Amino acid sequence: MISRCGEGLALLRRIQSEGYDCDFWVRPGIARELYAGLIPRVDIWRDGLDHETVVLFDSPGSGKTVAEIPRSWGAGALNDVLQFDRGFGMGIARIHGLNVPKEEDQGPDQTDDSLTLQAWYVRGELVPGSLFSTIEQNHFLAGNYGPRCQPPLCLGWFWRPKKKRDGEKSPTLYRQTLKRLEPFLLEQKYSGPLCLKLRMEKQSGKPVLLAVETGLRYPAIYAMLEGLQGSIGEVLASLSQGEMPRLQASFDWLGVLALSVPPYPCYAGYANVGVGGDLMENPHVWPLDVKQVAGENFTAGAHGIVAHVTAQAAQREALSPALYRLSENVHVADKQLRSDGLDSNNLIDLLNERHYF
């Protein structure tokens, strides 16, 4: 894995648990002890690469590097342009008929609840079963107060094919957004994750595009992984070779909750705090800013998110209690978490009223 700051290491550890040999590269400024004792860290990303090695990128920004790697997935030159050149991405969206705000300088976070639609692509083709949405809040404190940060909790779900009288059809939200971009994606052979950040207009009930994002999205990827069955390593190995796996996804509601330590989100490094309980063995806990010394687990001082906790439930109301029960079993001093649960009734009600589900 080529990583920005270790956000994807819990995914890499899950792949390692499936029997793959794994290592990672992260930029030199990140704490040297990150994931020490868990997965080897290399100083030069080219070291050890051969024709059997798959390189997974956990974030955008490495498009030039992809050209040097025969088997990779998660980044690319076009991915970087779409991520970092807002005007380009919104322009492409407008050309292809997406509903785009008139004012180009409107930021991507104008509402309390952000709706996303994400999917995975191989050479411009949609990976079947990968359509996934989240509702996210982007402030650190309960009630959506405090500093902006990576979403401290989010609600997610995979989209079912929508039933029509004439057979199975694709979900309405997909037809109004990502599907319209696919002629461009196919022409450009786009590979990797693609996420559209949306606002739902109350009057028309239609989505408005606020931002185009590439790379694995955090913490949504861990909610997504909670709902995927089978070997994620096999899926990613197939994607890296341009093959088209079919994902086996749960249609339960999915949730993810971040567990952090001070001074996150204004992080300046806070290491060597003991971490116990279900951190390493529970499949619903995804350890991140950690290290292991002589069999004991500690924080590593990289970015302050000790772990993400995930859960799934057939009834949405059962998700928050499940997440908080799991979080109680991760023992760390000064643990921080959003305490107000997954309360997204207004947006869910709007999606229901407009027959998106």
Distance CA 320, CA 18 (A): 29
Mean pLDDT of 231-237: 96
Bridge partners (DSSP) of residue 276 are: 331
Count: domains in the chain: 1
Measure the CA angle with vertex 139, ends 134 and 141; round to 5°.
Answer: 115
Mean pLDDT of 230-257: 95
Tokens of 282: 């529970």
Q: What is the pLDDT of residues 270-296, one digit of tens each?
A: 788 899 999 999 999 999 999 999 999
Is the predicted pLDDT of residue 107 greater than 80, yes or no? no
CATH of the domain at 250: 3.30.470.20
Q: What is the pLDDT of residue 299?
A: 95
Q: What is the pLDDT of residue 111?
A: 45
Is the predicted pLDDT of residue 105 greater than 50, yes or no? no
Residue closest to 200 by CA, chosen among 329, 347, 93: 347
DSSP 159: P
Mean pLDDT computed over every residue of the chain? 92
Separate counts of helices (H) and strands (E) for the chain: 10, 23
C-alpha distance from residue 296 to each of 38, 208, 274 (Å): 11, 48, 8
- The pTM of this model reads 0.94
Bridge partners (DSSP) of residue 268 are: none
Sign of CA dihedral 65, 71, 77, 83: negative
Question: pLDDT category, 108, cuts 50, 70, 90?
Answer: very low
Distance CA 173, CA 79 (A): 22
34-38, 104-108, 200-204, 244-248: the lowest-pLDDT one: 104-108
Domain with 193, as residue range(s), is: 2-353
CA gyration radius, the chain: 20
Distance CA 306, CA 69 (A): 31
**Per 3-state DSSP, what percentage of the chain is helix, strand, and coil (rounded to 5)?**
25, 30, 45
SS3 state of residue 257: strand
